[in-house]
């Protein structure tokens, strides 16, 4: 009797704990504020799901579970997750075919799929495109931040490319059509999980995986969360269609969320001109610094004219085509059957194009008349973009060398010319490509980078500290050469010798300038750089390929891994891949020493994979 | 030979170390037991020895490919420190990279070699003590069969010792079978060998032929 009572009390406590889940019920202000920006769907309970992953830390940050909730999936929590996220929309095919759903399986509210521009669609103005297999579950506000929550794999919508190319509706799960079937897979979720957590730890803005619910045959619903899931493409369709009313609604909705989340100044009550120009300025700065960061971190994110693969604040969304290269493989192009993607270097122009579109949007919103895009090719926002891009490139370079932020600012102010000389030498090595030329890889084409800048930046300060003199050219090459370099690539030409000399002299010159600015000795700065650079440029850093193999590894181990274990693994993996020297980590507490042997073995294998793939795509 | 612990716990051992260092501007090389998060250990290492006015440091993981340039510089260091971690993994890579021989030569030519926990065990004839006690031992993930180490000393060493019957029972059994002396030290304690001189720093016990004796 007593134990039954205790159990009842526990269940009541749990219900209280998990009450915030009830707020995620399909309701979202975007529905009312931007009526032409979404399609609404009724939804039904999807049976047979099991929670294979739940992000306890993210759920705590979002206020879904209490801060002191153990990182364990109890039956009540699993039930809450399934009740909230295990749903399937009633799509157009279901309605056409009069699919009967028992009343008790119907969800009370509708769920929206949002409309946005997508280049895969035959209609290039975005009248038919948007979330093709995703719905927005809703939003939740906690500690001053509103989070959007969406789920991928909840059924095929009429906004998918397949529906519009083939001009017919599809049943959710129809095996004859892959992307248009409205389903997602567990592997996709895990890939997003591992990549996004590493990015998040390294301060790259990104959507994050909150939960994965798995069904038979590896199908899954992957639940993602972010502070604001609006993309440039959510604006671009209305711009292309000349739909001022809806464009204004999207802009006002977006601005309001940015303000409420504390990310932007409160410009809501300002004049339209001030308000929308503020937005334009933010977009210009964001896309410039993001494009520079992507280029410098070798992050390949297929930016294109539709503004689809990126969030408005430069956050990464949809990891399907995201990669991080180990070297500057700047000629890699993803082969998407009908077209090749942009390269890393072309991302800058695409980002700038997005800003140009926002200049056009701003003008349209203020003057209520749409002018051609070409009218904005010399707009001041594009100059701003170039300025911020350049500044970011220098800042990123100094960060990679290992200079503290305050040193960078001083150097930029007082010695830009010296920085420029080093940047030129750095870029010469970074951009050097193999004489082997362009060749096909599994998912595209590439041309190998010859030098590993991370290796030279890691070892150089140590060697200068030890020796106090420049390296011999052959020694320099021995360190900087990548595994892709052939004998021909490394032939010691007069030009190569000259560049080695220039690199080293200008590097030490910067060190000396910082020493002077800081009133320190050269060795003190070199030691600082040595320590910072050993973290920033650590030998093993994840690449797109390594994430794929890591996920395969987890996939193979997964039948035996519980949701909590995957959570522990990804937390430790992201910790190991945190290359931020300002986050001084405690080794003994966080290094996974207390892990069960099985998880330790998996982690060890993951580290081996990362090491193996460290120079690849 | 450091049994474990942080910079503060090892202050006395560090003082002993710097009594042996002649160079005015010494170079210290840090070889971690594993590259996994070793950049963080390196930061702690630098912090620990910067207090002794050391200005030159090298970080040299051996379980990732390395170039000969850094390798040669390491062997010129005034002090080489072997870090703590999984002893089996460390031995595997020290052997694979021929660092075992190189470090032995380094010591025979007057270099100062220090080691903490796994790094200290590496200086003994073999690393069997890494598999003790049975309830808290290093895992031999790499399944190494050859446990021979540097044999720079003739005794065995056990770090992170806790003075308890559970530990003692295992060490008594071990030294009944294994005829060498086994020195055991808790964190913050250790042994300094300088030529013929052997100094025990902090509490140390000797196990021999199944018997336990307090040394220090």
Q: What is the DSSP string of A528-551?
A: HHHHHHHHHT-S----HHHHHHHH
* Cβ contact B42–A531 (<8 Å): yes
Strand-strand pairing, B27-31 and B56-59: parallel
Give CATH for domain B11-214.
3.40.50.880
Q: What is the pLDDT of residue A521?
A: 95
Query: Is residue A191 domain-shared with residue A85, that is, in the same domain?
Result: yes
Alpha carbons B161 and B138: distance in angstroms, whole number: 14
* Cβ contact B67–A471 (<8 Å): no
**Chain A touched by B55 (CB under 8 Å):** yes
Query: Is residue A411 domain-shared with residue A339, that is, in the same domain?
Result: no
Q: What is the pLDDT of residue A2?
A: 46
Candidates A429, A511, A430; CA nearest to A470 is: A511
Query: Is residue A195 domain-shared with residue A328, that is, in the same domain?
Result: no
pLDDT digits (tens, 9 = 90+) for A316-375: 999 988 999 999 999 999 888 778 889 999 999 999 999 999 999 999 999 999 999 999
> A91 in a domain, yes or no?
yes
Query: Is residue A64 domain-shared with residue A101, that is, in the same domain?
Result: yes
* Cβ contact A540–B64 (<8 Å): yes
Query: Is residue A470 domain-shared with residue A381, that is, in the same domain?
Result: no
Candidates A473, A480, A529, A536; CA nearest to A505 is: A473
Task: Average the pLDDT over A491-509 and give the result.
Answer: 97
Q: Which of A539, A541, A608, A615 to mutate to test the interface with B (most CBs of B within 10 A)?
A: A539
Q: Do the Cβ atoms of A596 and A551 come closer than 8 Å?
A: no
Q: What is the pLDDT of residue A15?
A: 67
* Cβ contact B37–A591 (<8 Å): yes
Instruction: Give the nearest partner residue to B27 out of A466, A585, A587, using CB atoms.
Output: A466
Instruction: Give the nearest partner residue to A585 out of B40, B55, B76, using CB atoms.
Output: B40
pLDDT digits (tens, 9 = 90+) for A111-157: 999 999 998 888 889 999 999 999 999 999 999 999 999 999 999 99
Whether residue A585 is predicted with pLDDT greater than 60 in this model: the reply is: no
Whether residue A1 is predicted with pLDDT greater than 50 in this model: the reply is: no
> A512 in a domain, yes or no?
yes
Q: Do the Cβ atoms of A382 and A360 come closer than 8 Å?
A: no
Of A361, A390, A419, the residue at which a domain comes to its end is A390
**Chain B touched by A576 (CB under 8 Å):** yes
Q: What count of CB pairs under 8 Å joins A to B?
A: 77
- Enumerate residues 6+ apart whose C-beta is below 8 A from A524: A515, B55
* Cβ contact A576–B43 (<8 Å): no
Q: Tell the residue number behind the tokens 């440039």, with chain if given.
A: A232
- Residue of chain A minimizing CA distance to B136: A594
A180: left (phi over 0), alpha (psi -120 to 50) or beta: alpha
Alpha carbons A3 and A16: distance in angstroms, whole number: 20
Provide the token pair at B26: 């010494």
- Residue of chain B minimizing CA distance to A462: B58
> A159 in a domain, yes or no?
yes
Phi, psi at A548, each rounded to 5° = -60, -45
Q: Which domain holds residue A357?
A: 233-390
Cα–Cα–Cα angle for B97, B101, B104, rounded to 5 degrees: 135
State yes or no: cis peptide before B59, omega within 30 of 0: no
- Residue of chain A minimizing CA distance to B62: A539
Q: Do the Cβ atoms of A319 and A196 come closer than 8 Å?
A: yes
Higher pLDDT, A337 or A494: A494
* Cβ contact A462–B40 (<8 Å): no
Query: Is residue A421 domain-shared with residue A455, that is, in the same domain?
Result: yes
Q: How far is A281 from chain B (nearest CA, A)?
A: 39
Alpha carbons B190 and B115: distance in angstroms, whole number: 10
Q: Do the Cβ atoms of A238 and A250 come closer than 8 Å?
A: yes
Instruction: Give the nearest partner residue to B73 out of A463, A530, A585, using CB atoms.
Output: A463
**Residues of chain B found within 8 Å of residue A478, distances taken between Cβ atoms:** 67-69
Instruction: Give the nearest partner residue to B69 out of A475, A524, A576, using CB atoms.
Output: A475
Query: Is residue A555 domain-shared with residue A530, that is, in the same domain?
Result: no
Of A192, A226, A260, the residue at which a domain comes to its end is A226
CA A66 centroid distance within chain = 27
Domain locations along chain B: 11-214
- Residue of chain B minimizing CA distance to A612: B64
Query: Is residue A425 domain-shared with residue A277, that is, in the same domain?
Result: no
> What is this model's ipTM?
0.89
Whether residue A165 is predicted with pLDDT greater than 50 in this model: the reply is: yes
* Cβ contact A611–B64 (<8 Å): yes
CA A366 centroid distance within chain = 32
Instruction: State the pTM of this model.
Output: 0.91
> A301 in a domain, yes or no?
yes
Query: Is residue A443 domain-shared with residue A553, that is, in the same domain?
Result: no
> A134 in a domain, yes or no?
yes
Task: Average the pLDDT over A383-401 and give the result.
Answer: 97
Query: Is residue A510 domain-shared with residue A431, that is, in the same domain?
Result: yes
- Residue of chain B minimizing CA distance to A601: B141
Candidates A141, A314, A130; CA nearest to A225 is: A141
- Residue of chain B minimizing CA distance to A465: B56
Strand-strand pairing, B211-214 and B205-208: antiparallel
Q: What is the pLDDT of residue A588?
A: 45
Question: Total structural domains in chain A?
Answer: 4
> A396 in a domain, yes or no?
no
Q: Do the Cβ atoms of A120 and A305 come closer than 8 Å?
A: no
Q: What is the pLDDT of residue A590?
A: 44
Q: How far is B29 from chain A (nearest CA, A)?
A: 10
**Chain A touched by B36 (CB under 8 Å):** yes
Q: What is the pLDDT of residue A589?
A: 41
> A254 in a domain, yes or no?
yes
**Chain B touched by A534 (CB under 8 Å):** yes
**Residues of chain A found within 8 Å of residue B55, distances taken between Cβ atoms:** 465, 523-524, 527
Of A536, A571, A588, the residue at which a domain comes to its end is A536
Phi, psi at A336, each rounded to 5° = -100, 40
pLDDT digits (tens, 9 = 90+) for A171-223: 999 988 876 789 999 999 999 999 999 999 999 999 999 999 999 999 999 99
Whether residue A594 is predicted with pLDDT greater than 80 in this model: the reply is: no
Range 462-491 of A in CB contact (< 8 A) with B: 462-463, 465-467, 471, 475, 478-479
* Cβ contact A601–B59 (<8 Å): no
**Residues of chain B found within 8 Å of residue A584, distances taken between Cβ atoms:** 40, 43
Instruction: Give the nearest partner residue to B67 out of A479, A584, A597, using CB atoms.
Output: A479
Instruction: Give the nearest partner residue to A466 out of B39, B67, B73, using CB atoms.
Output: B73
**Residues of chain A found within 8 Å of residue B56, distances taken between Cβ atoms:** 465-466, 523, 527
**Chain A touched by B53 (CB under 8 Å):** no
Average pLDDT, chain A: 93
Range 428-467 of A in CB contact (< 8 A) with B: 459, 462-463, 465-467
User: Which stretch of A442-446, A532-536, B101-105 has the lowest confidence by average pLDDT?
Assistant: A442-446
Query: Is residue A456 domain-shared with residue A490, that is, in the same domain?
Result: yes
């Amino acid at each position: 009797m007593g134990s039954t009572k205790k159990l009842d009390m526990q269940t009541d406590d749990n219900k209280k704990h998990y009450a915030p889940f009830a707020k995620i019920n399909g309701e979202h202000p975007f529905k009312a504020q931007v009526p032409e920006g979404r399609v609404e769907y009724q939804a039904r309970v999807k049976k047979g799901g099991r929670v294979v992953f739940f992000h306890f830390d993210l759920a705590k940050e979002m206020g879904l579970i209490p801060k002191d909730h153990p990182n364990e999936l109890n039956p009540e929590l699993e039930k809450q997750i399934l009740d909230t996220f295990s749903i399937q929309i009633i799509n157009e095919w279901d309605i056409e075919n009069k699919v009967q759903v028992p009343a008790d399986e119907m969800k009370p509210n509708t769920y929206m799929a949002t409309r946005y521009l997508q280049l895969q669609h035959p209609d290039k103005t975005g009248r038919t495109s948007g979330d093709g297999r995703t719905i927005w579950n809703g939003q939740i506000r906690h500690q001053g931040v509103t989070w959007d929550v969406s789920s991928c794999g909840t059924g095929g919508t009429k906004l998918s490319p397949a529906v519009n190319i083939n001009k017919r509706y599809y049943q959710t799960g129809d095996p004859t059509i892959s992307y248009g079937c409205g389903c997602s897979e567990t592997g996709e979720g895990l890939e997003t999980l591992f990549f996004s957590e590493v990015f998040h730890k390294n301060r790259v803005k990104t959507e994050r995986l909150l939960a994965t619910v798995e069904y038979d045959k590896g199908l899954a619903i992957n639940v993602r969360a972010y502070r604001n899931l609006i993309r440039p493409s959510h604006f671009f369709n209305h711009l292309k269609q000349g739909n001022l009313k809806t464009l204004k609604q999207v802009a006002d909705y977006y601005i309001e969320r940015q303000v409420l989340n504390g990310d932007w100044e409160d410009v809501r009550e300002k004049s339209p001109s001030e308000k929308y120009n503020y937005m334009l300025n933010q977009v210009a700065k964001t896309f410039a610094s993001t494009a520079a960061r992507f280029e410098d971190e070798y992050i390949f994110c297929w930016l294109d004219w539709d503004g689809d693969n990126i969030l408005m604040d430069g956050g990464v969304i949809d990891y399907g085509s995201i990669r991080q290269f180990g070297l500057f493989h700047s000629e890699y192009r993803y082969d998407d059957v009908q077209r090749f993607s942009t390269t890393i270097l072309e991302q800058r122009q695409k980002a700038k194009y997005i800003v140009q579109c926002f200049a056009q949007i701003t003008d349209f919103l203020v003057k209520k008349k749409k002018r051609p895009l070409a009218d904005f090719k010399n707009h001041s926002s594009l100059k701003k973009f170039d300025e911020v891009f350049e500044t970011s490139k220098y800042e990123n370079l100094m960060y990679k060398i290992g200079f503290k932020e305050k040193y960078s600012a001083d150097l930029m102010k007082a010695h830009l010319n010296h920085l420029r000389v080093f940047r030129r030498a750095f870029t010469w090595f970074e951009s050097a490509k193999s004489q082997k030329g362009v060749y096909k890889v599994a998912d595209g084409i590439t041309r190998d980078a010859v030098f590993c800048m991370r290796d030279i930046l890691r070892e150089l300060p140590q060697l200068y500290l030890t020796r106090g003199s420049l390296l011999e050219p052959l020694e320099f090459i021995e360190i900087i050469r990548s595994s892709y370099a052939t004998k021909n690539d490394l032939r010691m030409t007069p030009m190569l010798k000259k560049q080695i000399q220039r690199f080293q002299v200008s590097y030490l010159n910067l060190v000396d300038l910082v020493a002077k600015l800081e009133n320190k000795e050269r060795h003190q700065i070199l030691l600082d750089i040595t320590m910072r650079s050993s973290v920033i440029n650590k030998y093993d850093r994840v690449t797109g390929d390594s994430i794929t193999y890591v996920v395969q590894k987890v996939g193979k181990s997964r039948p035996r891994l519980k949701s909590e274990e995957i959570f522990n693994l990804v937390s430790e993996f992201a910790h190991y891949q945190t290359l931020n020297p300002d986050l001084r980590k405690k080794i003994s507490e966080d290094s996974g020493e207390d892990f069960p042997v099985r998880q330790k073995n998996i982690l060890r294998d993951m580290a081996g994979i990362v090491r193996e793939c460290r120079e690849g795509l | 030979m450091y049994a474990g612990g942080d910079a503060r716990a090892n202050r006395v051992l560090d003082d002993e170390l710097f009594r042996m260092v002649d160079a005015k501007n010494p170079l210290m090389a840090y070889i971690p037991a594993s590259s996994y998060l070793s950049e963080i250990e390196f930061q702690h290492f630098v912090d620990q020895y910067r207090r002794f006015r050391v200005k030159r440091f090298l970080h040299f993981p051996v379980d990732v490919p390395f170039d000969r340039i850094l390798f040669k510089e390491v062997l010129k260091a005034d002090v080489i420190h072997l870090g703590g971690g999984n002893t089996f993994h460390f031995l595997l890579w020290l052997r694979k990279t021929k660092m075992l021989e190189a470090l032995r030569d380094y010591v025979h030519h007057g270099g100062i070699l220090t080691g903490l926990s796994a790094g200290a065990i590496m200086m003994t004839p073999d690393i069997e003590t890494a598999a003790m006690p049975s309830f808290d031992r290093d895992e031999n993930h790499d399944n190494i069969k050859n446990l021979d180490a540097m044999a720079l000393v003739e005794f065995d060493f056990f770090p992170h010792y806790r003075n308890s019957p559970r530990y003692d029972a295992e060490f008594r059994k071990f030294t009944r079978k294994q005829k060498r002396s086994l020195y055991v030290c808790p964190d913050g304690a250790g042994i300094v060998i300088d030529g013929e001189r052997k100094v025990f720093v902090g509490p140390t016990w000797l196990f021999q032929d199944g018997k336990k004796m307090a040394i220090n």
